[in-house]
Amino acid sequence: MNYASSDFFISNCRLFSRRFPDQAALLTLDNPDKALKLLALIPPTMNLSPASSGDPTVSVQGQFLHSQRDPRREAEKTLSKSDIFTSDGCLFCGSGLLYLPELYSSAFPQAPLVIIESELPLFLLALSSRPLDALFAHPQLVIALALPAHEAAALPEQLGFPEIPLFTSPALTAVNPSWWREFEVLVRRNREKRAINANTLKKFGPLWLRNMCKNLQELGSLGGVQTLQGLAQDIPVLLLAAGPSLDTIMPSLHAYSRHCLILAVDTACRVCIQAGVTPDIVVLVDPQYWNYKHLEGLDLSSSILITEGAAWPAVFSITTRRRYLCSSLFPLGKFLEKDTIARGELGAGGSVSTTAWDAARLMGAKDIYVAGLDLGYPGKKTHASGSLFEELSHMHSNRLSPAETTLSAALSSTGLVPAQNWKGQTIATDKRLLLYAWWFESRFASFPELTTRILGEEGVLIPGAYSARPDDILALPVKRDDITRRIQALPPEEDRLVAGFPEAVQRLLDSLEDILLLARDAERLSQRTWTGANELHHITKRLDAIDQKIRTHPAKEVAAMVFSAQETEGPASTNTNPLAASQRVYHALVAAAEKNIELIKKFSKEIEVTVR
């Protein structure tokens, strides 16, 4: 039996080519010669052969990826015995001959179905093995072939189902174990990042909402960071984070400022000014009060401030040369910006340093020097000397509770893990900081035209960056006059609302009022007393219709930002009350919509919004 029949191969590729990502465009076939060329990509170490059942099976370097007796029956047993296969969707790690994805597509015809294969030749064998029309007709099928591991790992989030269950077969991933190990690590990091973001949102969502509502005037009037594009073209940037190693460059910071644009995160700003250098640009994107305290009382009249619409409101009272907003990180801001002003997005990797690095990239810098980016605790220190955190620990210290005790307690509470520094030595860090390191690593890989040099060797080693000595900066051309001239040439701030902003606020209020009506209607329905299965079916059908409207509502993410998880917790639904869980969810959604509307109405009067 010839399982490498080009007839099957051509038919399946033609059916599938319109679904392929750019990376697999070579699979678009318009003549048999191309099919034969693709078949030639299959190495002799990959072989199709008939199993005892008559269905094809495949081996790679003599190791079979499926059963030699009955690969289809093997897939049927896997599908029936594993609880991972549900209507929530599935991402298959490795294609093999596609038996299991094919069965899954029939069992769950509307579920998201993603197939990732690192080895293009193996997928070509699957195409040539048998007709796969039913699988390729699946409406939510996505197949990614031969992508870099970091791109493949990002795919679920890009597709809109970041928590899709993963099915991994050791036999399939053994074909390229190093690729799949990297993919697994990156997927786990992505999910850890989302878990941290979700917990942060639960904790600080109400604070961010209140800040943004208080800052509506600034949200509607300040320009965006896109104004700074090109500011650092042909100029190196020295990015100052607040890690302990920042201390090593402070004595020479004034000399370095003659050669570089100085870009400081909020936590490093006080240390920088104490060294006699006012940063050219300061970045503050964390909405908490203590981040404002990092800048309180500092003379920043010659600095540019990059911030976010959810920053602590007092941040906007600080006197600076210019203020620019990056595109909002939060749904309320995104909603208002959508039809009014595009400010320019900056990466948010959990740390202000990640946003600052992305600001340097946006400004056109090709050489970025970074100091204080330790992402760990060298010498068991948490921050640079003179930072607000360290000053407060000394301010509140006494004979029985010295500053060292406070710092040690802060360190031990993070849950330390070991990592390697630039010297090849072990350094203490924690999982949160390692996630930041991974974000930098992924950004470095995404922008290979940029060179990032880490000053000092004490911090966590970040692949994709280079180690440099601080005095390397002194060998660079002097750029201070050029930097000053470019900053002075920036356009002045506009002191008026952008066109259409009051109307955007009104649309937001109208949308939230609509969600409130839907949620109240659903809450009343879920509380109704019902008798008999027919009446319950009627209620659930109406609730399903409301749910669909809420899921596709343009303001659903705004309301969800202060959606209280605690209010939805409680006993699960039972046979006697199958709508108990739904009642709690709708009640929480009502409260969230009411909170949004209350705060927006309270603080929107200054921007001339007509509240109906």
- CATH no. for residue 101? 3.40.50
Last residue in a domain, options 488, 519, 552? 488
Least confident of 90-104, 197-211, 339-353, 591-605: 197-211
Give the side-chain half-sphere CA count within 13 A for 157.
Answer: 14
For the chain, the domain total comes to 3
479 Cβ neighbours under 8 A, 6+ residues apart: 235, 236, 258, 259, 260, 261
- One domain, residues 321 and 458: yes
Residue 151 CB coordination number (10 Å)? 17
Residue 490 CB coordination number (10 Å)? 15
Strands 166-168 and 320-325: unpaired
Compute the chain's Rg from CA coordinates: 29
Q: What is the pLDDT of residues 348-398, one digit of tens each?
A: 777 899 999 999 999 999 999 999 999 999 988 887 776 665 444 434 434
297 Cβ neighbours under 8 A, 6+ residues apart: none
The structure tokens 């650092």 sit at 232
Strands 56-60 and 63-64: antiparallel
Burial class (CB in 10 A: 0-12, 13-18, 19+), 566: exposed
Last residue in a domain, options 442, 461, 488? 488
- Tokens representing 202 are 């639960």
Q: What is the pLDDT of residues 268-313, one digit of tens each?
A: 999 999 999 999 999 999 999 999 999 999 999 999 999 999 999 9
pLDDT band at 406 (very low <50, low <70, confident <90, very high): very low
Look at residues 532, 488, 515, 505 and name the one whose alpha carbon lies nearest to residue 600: 505
- One domain, residues 309 and 442: yes
Residue 97: inside a domain, yes or no?
Answer: yes
Residue 497 has pLDDT above 80, yes or no: yes
Domain that holds residue 31: 6-189
Look at residues 336, 277, 286 and name the one whose alpha carbon lies nearest to residue 306: 286
Last residue in a domain, options 488, 513, 533? 488
Residue 133 CB coordination number (10 Å)? 10
Residue 136 pLDDT: 85
Residue 206 pLDDT: 86
- One domain, residues 83 and 220: no
Residue 207: inside a domain, yes or no?
Answer: no
Residue 199: inside a domain, yes or no?
Answer: no
237: helix, coil or strand?
strand
Helices (H), 340-380: 352-362
- Tokens representing 357 are 């690095």
Q: Is the Cα dihedral 515, 516, 520, 521 positive or negative? A: negative
Residue 300: inside a domain, yes or no?
Answer: yes
Residue 33 has pLDDT above 50, yes or no: yes
Residue 152: inside a domain, yes or no?
Answer: yes
pLDDT band at 211 (very low <50, low <70, confident <90, very high): very high
- One domain, residues 232 and 108: no
Residues 497 and 485: their CA atoms lie apart, in Å, by: 28
Residue 293: inside a domain, yes or no?
Answer: yes
Residue 24 pLDDT: 39
Q: What is the pLDDT of residues 471-487, one digit of tens each?
A: 999 999 999 999 999 99
**Higher confidence at residue 55 or residue 606?**
55
- One domain, residues 456 and 569: no
- One domain, residues 479 and 509: no
Strands 367-371 and 320-325: unpaired
DSSP state of 224: B
- One domain, residues 510 and 484: no
Chain mean pLDDT for the chain: 84
pLDDT band at 330 (very low <50, low <70, confident <90, very high): confident
Residue 365 pLDDT: 97
